[in-house]
Amino acid sequence: MKLLLLEDNAQLALWLVSLLREQDFLVDHVDDGDAADRLLQQTRYDVVLLDLNVPRLSGKGVLRRLRERMDPVPVIVLTATASLDQKVLCLEIGADDYLVKPFEIRELVARIKVLVRRQMSGKANDVACGDLKYDLRTRLFLLLDQELTLPPRERALLETLILKVGSTVSKQSLMDGIFSLDEEASADAVDIYIHRLRKKLEGSRATIITLRGIGYLLREREEG
């Protein structure tokens, strides 16, 4: 899962990015609202973590622009302000959740998972494609009832596909899902990871289909 963090406190941002990456999230961090607004117009994120008092464009301004564009990406406001009026205002203009600093990282991770689940069809904790299963609570894959252990990039790519199971995902979306801002994205690398995943899914009912010029599709293997 890929997150965007808007936070201008450098020390807090470093702490959050480090802890979230330890939880296997891919995290992009920016420290001003204009930069966040530009990124949100170019890149798909699973959840946005939004501080309010940031330079150039406030967090509320970023949120307003998001919703004016009809962008449904889930947003969690992270703020030191416990004001009920501000919380109500943020929720009214489109925030999905509101968390007051300081907070426990476990609570933030749990709230992120809740918001991702809300975006999924059926809003279940488990997603399946044939005999490939994904548990959103633990973020573990099971293949033929055995845990499927994957390197980080393959794991991020398969996670992106299974959260969109049955729908086509473009190569650009997969690149966005496995590379952060401080890494050099590679279309060739996506092809390599897809090839490796296909090998690991051999013998199962799940398969990754290439739709040339369009993207990739995770679906059940056709019989015969």
**Span 39-52, pLDDT tens digits:** 999 988 999 999 99
Between CA 153 and CA 55, with CA 3 as vertex, the angle to 5 degrees is 135
CA atoms within 13 A on the CB side of 125: 6
CB 78 within 8 A of CB 86: no
**What's the chain's length in residues?**
224
Could you tell me what percent of the chain has a pLDDT over 70? Answer: 97
Label residue 8 exposed, middle or buried (CB < 10 Å: 0-12, 13-18, 19+).
middle
Q: What is the mean pLDDT of the chain?
A: 91
Q: Cβ neighbours of residue 182 under 8 Å, at least 6 residues apart?
A: none
What DSSP assignment string belongs to 135-169? Answer: ETTTTEEEETTEE----HHHHHHHHHHHTTTTSEE
Query: What are the structural domains of the chain?
Result: 2-119 (3.40.50.2300), 122-220 (1.10.10.10)
Could you tell me what percent of the chain has a pLDDT over 90? Answer: 73
Rounded average pLDDT over 107-115: 92
CB 198 within 8 A of CB 206: no
CA atoms within 13 A on the CB side of 90: 28
pLDDT at 208 over 80: yes
Q: Where are the alpha helices (DSSP H) in the chain?
A: 10-22, 33-42, 59-68, 84-92, 105-119, 152-162, 171-178, 187-201
For residue 28, the SS3 value is strand
- pLDDT tens for 1-15 read 899 999 999 999 999
Q: Give the pLDDT score at 40.
A: 95
The reported pTM is 0.83
CA distance 64 to 198: 41
